[in-house]
């Protein structure tokens, strides 16, 4: 059973790396971004509420995100492990996840932090917007998300660093190289005995 979290700024390749890492470790990737986009495109009640925040580059409020993730983590396919992508992204969400996992006698095994310079992240976002036609990928929305990441999500990184389960990975360069680096770093971390 491997329970992982991947975290990083917008445009850092979390989604791509989450897929590769989940496949390597044999666990499902649980992406809040995918869940939000699915709900928005299907115009569900949650999707309608979430769209108001997403279109402005804001984070979806904790109460909506927590409920959605909690339901997903109760599904049978994640009972033997998972890789979370996009959650938790605030300190209150860390507490919510801790409580949910602790109620089942579980905890995260490792937190992968992708790191890349802001300028490279913006270049990637522009490419993605052109290639995928995503309406939520504009320069203003991207910069707002990046600011939110640096102010809110950085606190999450600090929490996991303090627990000794943060695995930093250089997220610059070729995606295949980043995947290899991340797999090696996580395998080394998981194989190292901790007090």
- Looking up residue 171, the CATH number of its domain turns out to be 3.40.50.300
Q: Are 44 and 56 in contact (CB under 8 A)?
A: no
- Mean pLDDT, residues 45-72 taken together: 84
**Which pLDDT band holds residue 103 (cuts at 50, 70, 90)?**
very high
Closest CA to 109 of 18, 12, 19, 192: 192
pLDDT of residue 140: 85
pLDDT of residue 131: 82
Average pLDDT, the chain: 89
Element (H, E) at 37: helix 32-41
DSSP assignments along 139-186, one per residue: HHHHHHHHHHIIIIIHHHHHHHHHTT-EEEEE--S-HHHHHHHHHHHH
Q: How many domains does the chain have?
A: 1
Q: Which domain holds residue 111?
A: 2-191
pLDDT of residue 73: 87
Residue 32 has pLDDT above 80, yes or no: yes
Angstrom CA distances, 81 to 36, 144, 157, stand at: 22, 32, 21
Element (H, E) at 14: helix 14-25
- Mean pLDDT, residues 71-90 taken together: 90
Q: Are 114 and 21 in contact (CB under 8 A)?
A: no
């Amino acid at each position: 059973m491997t329970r992982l979290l991947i975290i990083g700024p917008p445009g850092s390749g979390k989604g791509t790396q989450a897929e590769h890492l989940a496949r390597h470790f044999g666990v499902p990737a649980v992406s809040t971004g995918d869940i939000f986009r699915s709900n928005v495109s299907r115009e569900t009640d949650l999707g309608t509420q979430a769209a108001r925040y997403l279109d402005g580059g804001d984070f979806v409020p904790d109460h909506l995100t927590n409920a959605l993730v909690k339901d997903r983590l109760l599904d049978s396919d994640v009972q033997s492990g998972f890789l979370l992508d996009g959650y938790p992204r605030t300190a209150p969400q860390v507490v919510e996840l801790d409580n949910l996992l602790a109620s089942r006698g579980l905890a995260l095994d490792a937190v992968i932090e992708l790191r890349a310079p802001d300028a490279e992240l913006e270049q990637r976002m522009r490419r993605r917007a052109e290639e995928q036609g995503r309406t939520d990928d504009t320069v203003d929305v991207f910069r707002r998300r990046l600011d939110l990441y640096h102010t809110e999500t950085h606190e999450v990184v600090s929490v996991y660093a303090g627990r000794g389960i943060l695995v930093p990975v250089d997220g610059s360069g070729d995606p295949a190289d980043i995947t290899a680096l991340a797999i090696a770093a996580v395998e080394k971390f998981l194989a190292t005995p901790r007090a």
